Amino acid sequence: MLVSSMLNKIPGFILRPTYGIYEKRLIGEIKSENVPNHIGIIMDGNRRFASSKGLPVYMGHEMGMKKAEELLVWCNEIGVKVVTLYAFSTENFKRDSKEVDYIMKMLEQKFREAATNKKIIENRVRVKAIGNISMLPESVKEAIKEGEAATENFNDMTLNICVAYGGRMEIVEAIKRILDSCNGKGLDPEDIDAKLLSENLFTKGLPDPDIIIRTGGEIRLSNFLLFQSAYSELFFLNTYFPLIRKIDFLRIIRDFQRRNRRFGR
């Protein structure tokens, strides 16, 4: 308590260089060990952050989008190959129509920008939308096609953006695809296994997430990557998503590296 009290009295201009040194040391330690291949992020707390500051809801989503762009840079810096962001769930359509419209316009803009985004191009990031795309407005669908087409040959990093997404719905859709592939013929129950189901999920061909991070103080997955997260390491932060710091992210990665992952063995 005393140390915390003393730190609060230290001017920010003194602490900032200290944090910079600590960050560099952490990054060096992290890169020398097993870096997670795939990180999933439940970006929770945008609306509550805006409310806590007396700001309109849309500003919380705007700041959350900017933070997501920052987080992608942090992931790239340490060598993470796949990032999956939970941007908009199937349940989110029940929110106020003005808020939904704003988010849709923001998503449309970001997918269109993927074709010319300097960081996306320089780092060869493949952008993909994951979810029931048919539920989205036509303008968003077209923007997704543009963003995906412009980055489809990039393979240094993959950014999955979950829109109109729900984990249960994804599993149901996978089962439908399996049945459709039978062309009306019977399916031997012995042929159904985890590998077959995995190959029919939206994340086909991608590794399961090593880490799932949820901000905002809630301790649940909220229908996010339910099948894929069976052996993911879970981290829950009390911080609203727009306020997550690089040091918070790096500490999670360091903690992950210290965990003993046994995968049920």
* CA atoms in the 13 A half-sphere facing the CB of 148: 12
221 is in an annotated binding site: yes
Q: Is 180 a catalytic residue?
A: no
61 assigned ligand-binding residue: yes
45 annotated as belonging to a binding site for a ligand: yes
Q: Looking at 8, 34, 92, 160, which residue is catalytic?
A: 92
Please, are residues 45 and 89 in contact by the beta-carbon 8 Å criterion? no
Give the DSSP letter string of the chain: -HHHHHHHTS-HHHHHHHHHHHHHHHHHHHHTS---SEEEEE---HHHHHHHTT--HHHHHHHHHHHHHHHHHHHHHHT--EEEEEEEESGGGGS-HHHHHHHHHHHHHHHHHTTT-HHHHHTTEEEEEES-GGGS-HHHHHHHHHHHHHHTT--SEEEEEEEEE-HHHHHHHHHHHHHHTTTT----GGG--HHHHHTTSTTTTSPPPSEEEE-SS--S-TTSSTTTTTTPEEEE-SS-GGG--HHHHHHHHHHHHHS---TT-
44 is in an annotated binding site: yes
Residue 256, annotated ligand binder? no
Check the annotation: does 214 bind a ligand: yes
Q: Is 89 annotated as a binding residue?
A: yes
91 is in an annotated binding site: yes
Determine whether the annotation assigns residue 126 to a binding site: no
Residue among 44, 76, 160, 210 flagged as catalytic: 44
Task: Based on the residue annotation, tell me whether 260 is a catalytic residue of this protein.
Answer: no
Question: Comparing C-alpha atoms, which of 88, 139, 143 is closest to residue 110?
Answer: 143
Is position 49 annotated in a ligand binding site?
Answer: yes
Residues in the annotated binding site for substrate? 45-49, 61, 89-91, 93, 95, 214, 220-222
List residues forming the annotated binding site. 44-49, 61, 89-91, 93, 95, 214, 220-222, 233
Q: What are the residue numbers of the active site?
A: 44, 92
Binding residues for Mg(2+): 44, 233
